[in-house]
Each structure stands twice: as C-alpha cells, then as structure tokens.
Amino acid sequence: MGLCSSLLLLYLVLVCFVNDVLSGRTSSFTRSEWPSTDIPLDNEAFVVPEGYNAPQQVHITQGDYDGKAVLISWVTESEPGTSEVWYGTVGHEFEHKAEGKNTNYTFYNYKSGYIHHCLVDGLEYNTKYYYRIGTGAAAREFWFQTPPEIDPDAPYIFGIIGDLGQTFNSLSTLKHYMQTGGQTLLFVGDLSYADRYEYNDGVRWDSWGRLIEKSAAYQPWIWTAGNHDIDFRPDLGEVSTFKPYMHRFATPYVASKSSSPLWYAVRRASAHIIVLSSYSPFVKYTPQWYWLRGELKRVNREKTPWLIVLMHVPLYNSNEAHYMEGEAMRAVFESWFVHYKVDIVFAGHVHAYERSYRVSNINYNITSGNRYPVPDKSAPVYITVGDGGNQEGLAARFSKLQPDYSAYREASYGHSTLELKNRTHALYHWNRNDDGKHVPTDHIIFHNQYWASNRRRRSLKKHRRFPGHASLIARYEEELFPVLA
C-alpha cells in the first residue's frame, strides 16, 4: 500500500474514532447483575494452602524507587515461623536469601496471623525470579518478572482496578484481568470491604488476601488506600486509622522520601507513578502537600515520560454517588497537575466507569463567575474505575445531562489496561464484565503530554525513526485529538 493510501486510510479510521468519542456518551448497557454478596468463606476461591503454618495471602509490590527490588508479604496463621525469602533465576534453585520481619495486630476481638514483609533488593532488570517462602512440606514457590530498565521508550502494560471486594463479580474482574497480559496492577483503593461486617471482621481481610494471591503473588500490586480501608471504630476502642491496611500492605514510601506509607511514588519502565491519599490531610503546608510539591519537581520526563497519578476519590465525577467529594483535593492539586502536564489520573470510589476529556477548572473564581471546566491541552485525562465488583453494588445513577467534560460513562463492573508503547503513545482499554464475560468497551490512544509539543516531536524525529508510519500517526492525532488525548 502506498504512502498516500496509508494516510487516507489512517485519516478515515481516526475520523470515525473522533465521531465515536468526542461526543460524550452515556452507555445504555444494562447487565443482569450477579448478586452483590460476598463469596462464602468455604468457597474454593478462599482455599487455605495445605501444610502446617503454610504461608498464605502472598502478595508483592515494588520495593524501591526504580524497580530493582520487591517487597514480598505473606501471613502464617499458627506461629511466626521464618521470615526468610529464598530466591534465584532458575526454577527450584534458590541461591540467594533475604531476611524479613513479622508483625501482627488486634482489632477489637480479632487477632491477625503473623504478617511477614521481606525486601528483596539488588535485582537485575527484565529478569524472571523464582522465590520460596515457608519451610519443609509447607514451603511454597512463586515467581515474578522485574521490569525493564528505566527508559523513555520501555514498553509496559499496567492494569487498573479499584473497589474490588470479594463477590463473584470481584472474582470475574480478577480472572479477566489475569488474561490481559498486564505486568503490574495499579490498585486505586477499597480492598476487602471487611468494614462492612460486624466489628470490621478481620477474617474478611484474610479471605481477600487469599482471593488475590493468584495474581498478587506473581506481579506487583501498587497500593492506594480508600475509605473502606480506614477502619476507624472509636465505638470499639479502635481509634487509629488504616490499622489492618498498613499492617498488611507494605509500600516503598521511604524510597520516595515520603513520611507516610499512604502517599509515595515509584518509577517503573517508562512511567512515574504517584500515589496520593484522599483521606489524609492534603491542604497547604501538610506533609502530603509538601511531599507532592517536591515529588513533582523530581519527575524527569526525559527518562519517565508517562506521569500517572493514583488516588481514591475522583476529582471529576458526574455520578450521583460521591458527587463533589473530590472537590477539595481538586482545588489544592489540580493546578499542579496542569503545570506538570500529568498524563492520566486514575481514581475509584464511585462504583461505575467514567472517562473525561482533557479539561481543567483552575480558573474557577466565585466572584467573576468562571466556574466551569474548560478544555485544556495541558490537563490530565481523569478516569474513574471504581467498578471492581464489591458488595455495595453499582452506582447506576449518573446526572441526567452528561457534562461537557465527560467523554464516556457506564455503570458496569470491569477493569482497565494501559499499554505504554513508547515515549509518545499508549493504548488504553476499559473492559466490561458483561454478565461474567470479558467485553472490550472503551478504548483510546493517548499521546504523551511531555512529548506532544511540536518542538519535541521535531527533535525526536531527527534522532530516531518510528516503525511504519508512527510519526505520521502522531501528527494526525495531534490535529484530530487536540483536547482528548
């Protein structure tokens, strides 16, 4: 096919794509929903591994700033046992050992098992590692793959899930995600929903840990805290916040110079990921505010061009559920997101799906009347994925009139994937769980905010060649998608 024919075909495809996504749409899909009740504790989804004191609830997360370490966590029920991790690059041959620590906690009348956290560092990039935890016949073996070296063109696939819970809908979401080829999961808060039980039953924290192990033991889950993870019960004498969450789910917050496990940052492949806490102080002069101001200055888009922010409460939301709850954080941080050209902000909390155009409301002024979001090429796309499947059910009531900032919205369960192709382009998909079936529903090509300028594109084209007509695609996207992506 000649160049002119290729360009014409490309133009027609993109025009069709524009017609589909630039006229904000509310999906009319209605699912025959599975009951929003938790899976019974005796279900095989929560099976306890065989053997005395066998490690269970195994999960890993990134253990440092740049992806050369993992934090491995697990629980032993009967006694502490060992906190050692044996690991190596050949299956069943474990040459190296790392020593961790264990802890436990009580919450009213619940006492946790022994929770182990072990940092395995000094790893090589782009390498498959095998690891073993536990001893004797009860020892268990798993593996993980380290990311490619930090590089602006390093391809990588992230999954995004929020508000998962432990219903059959949750299990469907998890199984579908595991078939996508996602390499690391970005989790945007509200994990087990144990707080929906009498006395915030810790047994449901244990069952949730066993539910996710089939994925989380093999790839990092990057944790964000939500409102159902606060566990503040002064009526039970439990006056600290995030007690079960912070005992169970370690984060590499020290590596990013954070003072709290609830907000931190990691760099992975070509992405710089910032995690914020919607339920910790964030106004001016608070620790989180100071930290974010410093972290945004540390971002180097020449090395990690994709700047992604995770939080629980969405800043833009046209659903009646939790409407305007993110307004305070938006007023504090949105101008920074625009100034630093954040690519995407992922949130949960609202049990539905919604994607925005690139808009901002940084010129809001109650006196002059500038009170509406406006198109802004420097602004992030805001995506709500609080549709993991928890027992509270779907948030089906969107505002009758779809706001101009809203591109697509649907009250269904599902998950997302973000495929970073290189420094300029990424493919995004939201996949609906259609009555238990995986259905790709919303998709878009993002072009990177930092590398989107004509000056940087011209510089890039002088030094490297894209396969096929990728540079031409970039030019046409810039003309046809001036605000969206």
Just list the catalytic residues: 322
The first and second tokens of residue 300, run together, are 């180097």
Give the residue from 336, 418, 461 showing the smallest Cα distance to 161. 418
H or E element: which one contains 244? helix 243-248
How many whole angstroms separate alpha carbon 416 and alpha carbon 181? 12
Residue 292 vs residues 155, 223, 297, 447: alpha-carbon distances, Å:
26, 17, 9, 24
Mutual orientation of helices 287-298 and 327-339 as an angle, nearest 10°?
20
Give the residue from 209, 212, 143 showing the smallest Cα distance to 175. 212
CA angle 468, 304, 245 (to 5 degrees): 125
Q: CA-based Rg of the chain, rounded to a whole angstrom?
A: 22
Half-sphere exposure of 465 (CA within 13 A, CB side): 3
- Longest Cα separation, the chain: 73
How many whole angstroms separate alpha carbon 156 and alpha carbon 270? 8
H or E element: which one contains 275? strand 271-275
Chain centroid to CA 301: 20
Residue 56 pairs in a beta bridge with: 75
How many whole angstroms separate alpha carbon 126 and alpha carbon 278? 33
Give the residue from 33, 75, 40 showing the smallest Cα distance to 56. 75
How many whole angstroms separate alpha carbon 44 and alpha carbon 473? 48
Give the residue from 313, 185, 336 showing the smallest Cα distance to 249. 185
Give the residue from 485, 482, 471, 465 showing the smallest Cα distance to 10. 471
Give the residue from 183, 184, 188, 181 showing the smallest Cα distance to 164. 188
Residue 316 vs residues 18, 135, 163, 418, 449: alpha-carbon distances, Å:
22, 49, 17, 20, 19
| Phi, psi at 463, each rounded to 5° | -110, -15
